Amino acid sequence: MSNIPENLNYTAEHEWIKIEGETGTAGITDFAQGELGDIVFVELPSIGKHVQAGKTFGTIEAIKAVSDLYAPVSGEIVEVNKVLAETPEMINSDPYGEGWIVKIKLSNVSELSNLLSAQKYSELINN
Amino acid sequence: MEVKRLALTSLHEGLGAKMVNFGGFLMPVQYKNGIIHEHKVVRSSVGVFDVSHMGEVVVSGENAFDFVQKITVNDVSKLVNGQVQYSAMCYENGGIVDDLLVYKMAENKFFLVINAGNRDKDISWMKQHLPKNVDFQDVGDDYTLLAVQGRNAEKTIQKLTETNLSKINYYFFVEGKIAGMESIISRTGYTGEDGFELYFQTKHSQEVWDKLFEAGKEFGIEPIGLGARDSLRMEMKMALYGNDIDQTTNPVEAGLGWITKLDKSNFIGREALLKVKEEKPKRNLVAFVVDSKRVARQHTKIFANGVEIGEVTSGNYSPSLDKNIGIGFVKSEFSKVGTMLEVEIGANFYKAEVVKPPFYKRDY
C-alpha cells in the first residue's frame, strides 16, 4: 500500500504539496515513485521561474519511462532540491522528505481549494 | 486479447512483483528492489528470470534438417548434436520474421525457441513451409524456462545436478536432471554473463524454483524481471524483436550478418539478402552513448550536422556504465565508431557518440 500522509495536499497528477504560509513544498507521491520505478534523473526548473498550476515544469526520467512534472499550484520557484541532481533516487526512498522537488511561492491562494485531501487522493489511486 | 497466466505467475505476484502484459503473457517486470538493483545482482552474482513466455517448437523426421536449413538464415549443417545456434527466420524480401535459437537434439530433430510475442505468427509461418515427413509440435505451453544468469550461476545449479556443468561449453546443452527433474540444461542467455537456461515440464516449476533459490542463497540469488532483462541485453547490444529488429528490417543491416550464411544452400530470403549485401546496406544498427542525463528512448530522432539520419530503436540507462545508452538505425555513412550524432529529446538536442559494442564486458 502506498503511503499518503494526512497533512499534505495532492493532485490527480500524483504530486503532493505541503503549504506553509505563502510557500508550498512539492514533490511526487509514494504511489507515483512506485509506479515509475528507479528514478535516474530529474530535470529541475530554474529559480525565479513562474509556473502555472496543472502545467509542466520539469521531467522525471525513470528506467522504464519519462514523465512530466506538473505544478500543483501557480507561483514562483523559490528553491529546488539540489541534492536530486546527484541522487535522484532520493525520490524513490523518501518521496515526502529528502526527495522533495521544489518550493513554490504561491501567487493565487484560491487555487488551494482545487487540491485533493489525503482521503480523496487515496480514493483516486484505489479506483 | 486475454492475458495468459503461466505456472509461476502467482508466485511472482506473491513476491510483490509488478506484472505487465508482455506479448500476451502476464510477466514480472520488476520485483521489490527495482530494476537497477536487479541488474547489479546479475552483473555481480546470480539472478533467475522466468521467461516461460518464450515459445518452443520441436521438429523431427526425415526432412527436419532440410526444413530448418530452409527457414533459418544461419547454417544448421555446422551444428553438432548438443549444440545451440542463434539464428533468424526471414521473409522472401529479407525482413525478419523472428530471431530464434536452434537446438540440435539429434540428426533430424531440432528444438526451436521463439519470441513470446511472435509465437502464433512464427508457428503459422513454419507450418506454411512445412515439407512432408516433418513432424511439427508446438510445445510452448509444456515448458517452464528459467534463465539463471551471472558469475555464480554454475555454482548454484551444480548443487542440483549430477551433470558436470563445467563440461558444457557456451552455446551447448545437455539433457539432464535439475533437482531430480528432466531438463534441458543450456549454456546460453541474454545478459552477457555466464549462465544457463533450463527448460523443464511446467508441473515442476515451483519445486525447481524453490531448489534454485535454496542453492543460490549463499550467493544472494534473487528473482529478476523483464526490466533488468532489457537493460542487461541492451548493454550487450543484443537485438530485441519488436524494438531493434522486425519485419521491416533485415539481418544484414541489423548487425546480424554474422548469423546470415549467404553461401549455404538456399533459404527463404537469401536472394533479397544477397542483394542487400552486394549493394551494401543503406542503414546500420549502431550502438551509441548519449551525453545527457535524459534517456534517448525508442523512436527518438537521430541527427548528424542538423539533418535527420535515423531513429533510436532501444534506449535506456546503463547501470554498469552509469550513462545513457542507445541502439538505433542510422544512415550507413554515419555508422562508423566515433561518429558524433545528436538526439532530439523534448525540445533539446544532445550529443551521442557511436561506440563499438558491447557496452559492457564481463571480467571473468
pLDDT tens sequence across B294-336:
999 999 999 999 999 999 999 999 999 999 999 999 999 999 9
* Partner residues linked to B117 by β-bridges: none
Q: Mind listing the pLDDT tens digit for each residue in B277-292? A: 999 999 999 999 999 9
Question: CB distance B36–A41 less than 8 Å?
Answer: no
* Residue A87 located in a structural domain: yes
Stretch B129-143: mean pLDDT: 96
Query: How many angstroms separate the CA atoms of A9 and A4, rounded?
Result: 9
Question: CB distance B35–A61 less than 8 Å?
Answer: no
In chain B, what residues touch A37 (CB-CB under 8 Å)?
18, 30, 34-35, 227
Q: Mind listing the pLDDT tens digit for each residue in B155-199? A: 999 999 999 999 999 999 999 999 999 999 999 999 999 999 999
Specify the residue for cell string 487515496: A122
Same domain, B306 and B327: yes
Average of per-residue pLDDT values in chain B: 97
Question: CB distance B317–A40 less than 8 Å?
Answer: yes
* Partner residues linked to B335 by β-bridges: none
Q: Are strands B96-106 and A15-20 parallel, antiparallel or unpaired?
A: unpaired
Specify the residue for cell string 533459404: B267
Question: CB distance A37–B231 less than 8 Å?
Answer: no
* Residue B174 located in a structural domain: yes
Same domain, B115 and B40: no
Same domain, B75 and B92: yes
Q: Please, are residues B66 and B212 in contact by the beta-carbon 8 Å criterion?
A: no
Question: CB distance B30–A43 less than 8 Å?
Answer: no
Q: Please, are residues A16 and A29 in contact by the beta-carbon 8 Å criterion?
A: yes
| Candidates A37, A66, A92; nearest CB to B295 | A66
Question: CB distance B294–A38 less than 8 Å?
Answer: no
Say which CATH number the domain at B43 has.
Answer: 3.30.1360.120
ipTM: 0.79
The phi and psi torsions of A84 (rounded to 5 degrees) equal -70, -20
If 0-12 CB within 10 Å is exposed, 13-18 middle and 19+ buried, where does residue B301 land?
A: middle
In chain A, what residues touch B28 (CB-CB under 8 Å)?
none
Say which CATH number the domain at B64 has.
Answer: 3.30.70.1400
Q: Please, are residues B40 and B319 in contact by the beta-carbon 8 Å criterion?
A: yes
Domain enclosing residue A52, as ranges = 9-109
Query: DSSP assignment of B256-296, as one string?
Result: -GGG--TTSS--TTHHHHHHHHHH--SEEEEEEEESSSS--
Give how far A122 is from chain B: nearest CA, Å.
20
Say which CATH number the domain at A40 has.
Answer: 2.40.50.100
State the pLDDT confidence band at B2, using cuts at 50, 70 and 90. confident
CA distances A44 to A48, B153, B271, Å, are: 12, 42, 53
pLDDT at A64: 85
Touching check for A1 and chain B: CB below 8 Å? no
Same domain, B146 and B224: yes
Question: CB distance B293–A43 less than 8 Å?
Answer: yes
Same domain, B170 and B36: yes
Count of structural domains, chain A: 1
- Counting every residue, how long is chain A? 127
Average of per-residue pLDDT values in chain A: 95
* Residue B117 located in a structural domain: yes
Q: Please, are residues B138 and B123 in contact by the beta-carbon 8 Å criterion?
A: yes
Question: CB distance A66–B294 less than 8 Å?
Answer: yes
CA angle A49/A54/A58 to nearest 5° reads: 50
Res B140 pLDDT > 90: yes
pLDDT at B258: 97
Q: Mind listing the pLDDT tens digit for each residue in A21-33? A: 999 999 999 999 9
Question: CB distance B294–A40 less than 8 Å?
Answer: no
Q: Mutate which of B293, B297, B298, B348 to test chain A, going by most A C-beta atoms within 10 A?
A: B293
Q: Which of residues 86-105 of A touch B (CB under 8 A)?
A: 92
Pick the residue with more confidence: B225 or B2?
B225
Same domain, B123 and B224: no
For residue B231, the chain A residue with the least C-alpha distance is A63
Stretch B259-288: mean pLDDT: 96
* Partner residues linked to B318 by β-bridges: B323
- Helix (H), strand (E) at residue B228: helix B226-235
Q: Please, are residues B95 and B112 in contact by the beta-carbon 8 Å criterion?
A: no
Stretch B88-97: mean pLDDT: 98
Question: CB distance A63–B36 less than 8 Å?
Answer: yes
In chain B, what residues touch A59 (CB-CB under 8 Å)?
294, 346
Count of structural domains, chain B: 3
State the pLDDT confidence band at B350, using cuts at 50, 70 and 90. very high
Contacts of B104 (CB under 8 A, 6+ apart): B76, B79, B80, B81, B82, B83, B84, B85, B110
Touching check for A63 and chain B: CB below 8 Å? yes
Same domain, B134 and B188: no
Copy the grid coordinates of residue A43. 530535470
Domain enclosing residue B114, as ranges = 55-138
In chain B, what residues touch A38 (CB-CB under 8 Å)?
34-37
* Residue A116 located in a structural domain: no
Query: How many angstroms separate the CA atoms of B255 and B257, rounded?
Result: 6
Q: Please, are residues B66 and B266 in contact by the beta-carbon 8 Å criterion?
A: no
* Residue B91 located in a structural domain: yes
Query: How many angstroms separate the CA atoms of B296 and A6, rounded?
Result: 38
CA angle B66/B105/B257 to nearest 5° reads: 60
Question: CB distance B36–A38 less than 8 Å?
Answer: yes
What string of H, E and C letters represents the secondary structure of B145-175?
EEEEECCCHHHHHHCCCCCCHHHCCCCEEEE
* Partner residues linked to B25 by β-bridges: B4, B22
Q: Mind listing the pLDDT tens digit for each residue in B22-60? A: 999 999 999 999 999 999 999 999 999 999 999 999 999
In chain B, what residues touch A66 (CB-CB under 8 Å)?
294-295, 297
In chain A, what residues touch B29 (CB-CB under 8 Å)?
64
| Candidates B227, B293, B346; nearest CB to A63 | B227
Write down the pTM of the prediction. Answer: 0.93
* Residue B81 located in a structural domain: yes
pLDDT at B1: 63
Touching check for A43 and chain B: CB below 8 Å? yes
Give how far A127 is from chain B: nearest CA, Å.
18
pLDDT at B234: 98
Query: How many angstroms separate the CA atoms of B351 and B294, rounded?
Result: 11
pLDDT at A19: 94
Q: Where are the alpha helices (H) located in chain A, listed in sequence order?
A: 30-36, 83-86, 90-93, 118-125
